[in-house]
Chains A and B, each alone.
Chain A
Amino acid sequence: MSPPPPPPILEGPTVTDGALALPRPPLTPEDAARSRDRFRVHTARRHRRRWYLLWLLVGPGLLTMLGENDGPSMISYATSGAAYGLGFFLPFILVTFAMAVIVQEMVMRVGAVTHRGYGQLVLERFGSVWGWFSAGDLIVTNLVTLIAEFVAIRVGLSYFHIGAGIAALLGVVLVAFTLSGGRYWRWERIVLGLAIFNGLFLVAAIMVKPHWSAVGHSLATFSPFPAGSFNTLLLLIASTIGATVTPWMIFFQQSASADKGLTPSDVRHGRYDTITGGLLAALFGCGALIVGAALAGHGGSGVVGLAGAGFPRALAHVSGNAVATVFALGLIEAGAVALLTISASTGYAVGECIGVPHSFNNSARKAAVFYAANIGAALIAAAIILIPGAPLLSIALNANVLATVLLPVALVFMIMLANDRELMGRWANNAVNNWVAIAIVAFISVCGGAYAIDSFLQAVHLV
């Protein structure tokens, strides 16, 4: 098939202004793979095949949002529901996903316009100290979160009497399987196929037959407001934020947008992708909370979700085996998808900061560091969950809080990049973007900071 004439040069980045007349640099297999995807996008756009175009361009936003509905997040939502029932936290999930959509839209826009990942841009624009600090933050939180993902997979599988060793093995094999193929498109579609099953939490929520009037009242009024200790409330707020907006999402969506080959002409579809992902993730997250709320009044506040198969077993007693089975399968899915996206964000960050090839469109041989970091992160996390007596419960509960504490730095650099007119040209943030983004950073900083300080003061017995 001979390709149609090339598309007109699009308005967009100013990075290479004036360079278009120069001869093309040497092409790589990565360029060839990406150009095949762009050819399909161009053809769909030329023939006005709108749904097909949307199908081609969605991916990074959906994966980021559904990936963030990970094992610890779903357990965190269900814990909130079990402890407090329907109430403040149900609409709060919607608020946090609205914040996530605003942040991730900026991330997608920067990726599509600059064609570079977040780690690379921070390193180049703000220097190696900031670049490596950001990557260091990410690697620490990713490792902790990956451990929590394996715990979630283990909790889900243990309901079916499958042990930790199999959980670790399955997780690592899944990462290795998706890495084979040397194409971003293939990797993205496999993970998207898995991510659909995040909807199991909504299925489980419908199966527990909640009082829909109570759900509506909670969404409309943010009430009843949770009672209990100030510290517990802060923990739940911080972990709910940490369950929705995290550093890996910033690294992942920007790098994936660049790796997919999005351009400024795709920003509108990138927004659809991100908003749809946010809506679905909020819906499924609310589902997890509603399922957890079924345990409120049945000793739900005492369920220790990660010790053994706490949640699924407790659900089996209260709502029946079918609900417990669906919830356990949901936990396995949530852990598995996040395992893939978080491992990928680790690979992108390491590759970008070292300055070596970092694309799924490369073979493992060509991008050895990228692939090694990707699977290495999963291997380390898998090994840790197999250590007898490892404090998995504590790790999982603190993973989201640590992500919240480390998030403001990533967000500040994101806002600076989105305002960088040398890079972004007319795609830079406007004043409304900036005010909303700054309010989000302030809110997250205050919540994370308040929890960290209050917990610390309690730990040293000062309060």
Chain B
Amino acid sequence: MTQHDQDLVEFLERDQLVADRSRPLPRAPLSGRANAALWGLRVFTVMLSVMVLYTFVSQLGH
């Protein structure tokens, strides 16, 4: 990397640097209720997806 590149890097915010972006963030604190709601949403979505896939497969038979 040239000196010019080194100078231009000053124009990046510190947390734009690859080294900083690669540093994992801590887990977000979630209440039990929020966790349960997220799981409920996931189950709902998986059920709907299965329904769409079943409908899709059944359409293939016609």
- Identify the A interface with B (CB < 8 A): 2-3, 6-7, 9-10, 12-13, 15-16, 19-20, 24-32, 34-36, 38-39, 41-42, 114-116, 121, 124-127, 130, 133, 137, 258, 261, 263, 355, 357, 391, 394-395, 398, 401-402, 405-406, 408-409, 412, 416, 420, 422-423, 445, 448-449, 452-453, 455-456, 458-460
When A455-B51, A459-B55 are in contact, do A25 and B19 touch as well, CB less than 8 Å? yes
What A residues does B48 contact at CB under 8 A?
Answer: 405, 448-449, 452-453
Complex CA distance for A38 and B13, rounded to whole angstroms: 10
Q: A409-B45, A455-B51 known; A398 and B12 CB under 8 Å?
A: no
Q: Which of A25, A35, A121 contacts B11 (CB 8 A)?
A: A35
Q: Compute how far the CA of A310 lies from the CA of B14 in the bound complex, rounded to whole angstroms.
A: 54
Contact B13 A12 (CB under 8 A): yes
B28 cross-chain contacts in A, Cβ below 8 A = 125-126, 416, 420, 422
Interface of A is mostly: helix
Contact with B49, one of A12, A126, A405 (Cβ below 8 angstroms): A405
Query: Contacts A26-B19, A27-B6, A30-B18 given: A401-B41 contact, CB under 8 Å?
Result: no
Chain B: CB-nearest residue to A36: B8
Is the beta-carbon distance between A261 and B30 smaller than 8 angstroms? no
B42 touches A20 (CB 8 A): no
Known: A16-B15, A115-B15, A422-B28. A27 touches B9 (CB 8 A): yes
Whether A401 contacts B17 by the Cβ 8 Å rule is no
Q: Are B5 and A25 in contact (CB under 8 A)?
A: no
What's the Cα separation between A261 and B48 when bound, in Å? 37
- 7 additional A-B pairs beyond A16-B15, A401-B52, A453-B48, beta carbons within 8 Å, are A38-B16, A133-B42, A394-B59, A395-B56, A398-B52, A405-B45, A456-B54
A460 to B12, CA, bound (A): 57
Contact B9 A24 (CB under 8 A): yes
Q: Check A3/B54 contact, CB under 8 A, given A16-B15, A412-B41.
A: no
B18, A6: Cβ atoms closer than 8 Å: no
| A31 engages B10 (CB within 8 Å) | no
Q: How far is the CA of A125 from the CA of B30 in the complex (A)?
A: 10
Report B-chain residues with C-beta under 8 Å of the C-beta of A6.
10-11
A126 contact from B7, B21, B27, B53, Cβ within 8 A:
B27
A220 to chain B, nearest CB (A): 34
Provide the residues of chain B in CB contact with A16, threshold 8 Å.
14-15, 20
Please measure, in the bound complex, the distance between the C-alpha atom of A453 and the C-alpha atom of B44, giving whole angstroms.
11
Instruction: Report B-chain residues with C-beta under 8 Å of the C-beta of A409.
Output: 41-42, 45
Closest to B17 in A: A31
Q: Are A39 and B11 in contact, with the CB atoms below 8 A?
A: yes
Q: How far is the CB of B58 from chain A (nearest CB, A)?
A: 4
Query: Given A3-B7, A26-B19, A133-B42, are A10 and B13 neighbors across the interface (CB < 8 Å)?
Result: yes
Q: How far is the CB of A259 from chain B (nearest CB, A)?
A: 10
Q: A405 vs B16: C-alpha distance in the bound complex, in angstroms?
A: 34
Given that A420-B28, A423-B25, A456-B54 are known contacts, is A408 also in contact with B45, CB under 8 Å in the complex? yes
Q: How far is the CA of A26 from the CA of B58 in the complex (A)?
A: 56
Which has the most chain A C-beta neighbours within 10 Å: B16, B24, B59? Answer: B16
Closest 5 CB pairs of A and B: A25-B19, A6-B10, A456-B51, A32-B5, A125-B28
A residues within 8 A CB of B11? 3, 6-7, 35, 38-39, 41-42
List of B residues within 8 angstroms of A422 by Cβ: 28
Q: Are B17 and A24 in contact (CB under 8 A)?
A: yes
User: Which residues of A sit under 8 angstroms from B55, Cβ to Cβ?
Assistant: 398, 452, 455-456, 458-459
CA distance A449 to B17 in the complex (A): 42
What would 7 A/B residue contacts be, using CB atoms closer than 8 Å? A24-B9, A27-B1, A27-B17, A31-B17, A115-B15, A398-B56, A405-B49
**Measured between C-beta atoms, what is the minimum distance from A141 to chain B in Å?**
10
On whether the beta carbons of A29 and B21 are closer than 8 Å, the reply is: no
Q: How far is the CB of A24 from chain B (nearest CB, A)?
A: 7
Given contacts A36-B8, A459-B58, contact A31 B52 (CB under 8 A): no
Q: In whole angstroms, what is the CA distance A36 to B12 when docked?
A: 9
B59's closest neighbor in chain A, by CB? Answer: A394
**B21 CB contact (under 8 Å) in A36, A116, A395, A423:** A116
Q: Tell yes or no: B36 within 8 A of A by CB.
A: no
Which A residues are CB-close (under 8 A) to B45?
Answer: 137, 405-406, 408-409
Q: Is B54 a contact of A130 with CB atoms below 8 Å? A: no
Name the A residues within 8 Å of B8 (CB-CB). Answer: 3, 32, 35-36, 38-39
Contacts of B24 in A (CB 8 A): 124
Residues of B within 8 A of A402 (CB): 49, 52-53
Q: CB distance A32 to B9 under 8 Å? A: yes
* Closest chain A residue to B8, Cβ basis: A35
For A133, the chain B residues whose CB sits under 8 A away are: 42
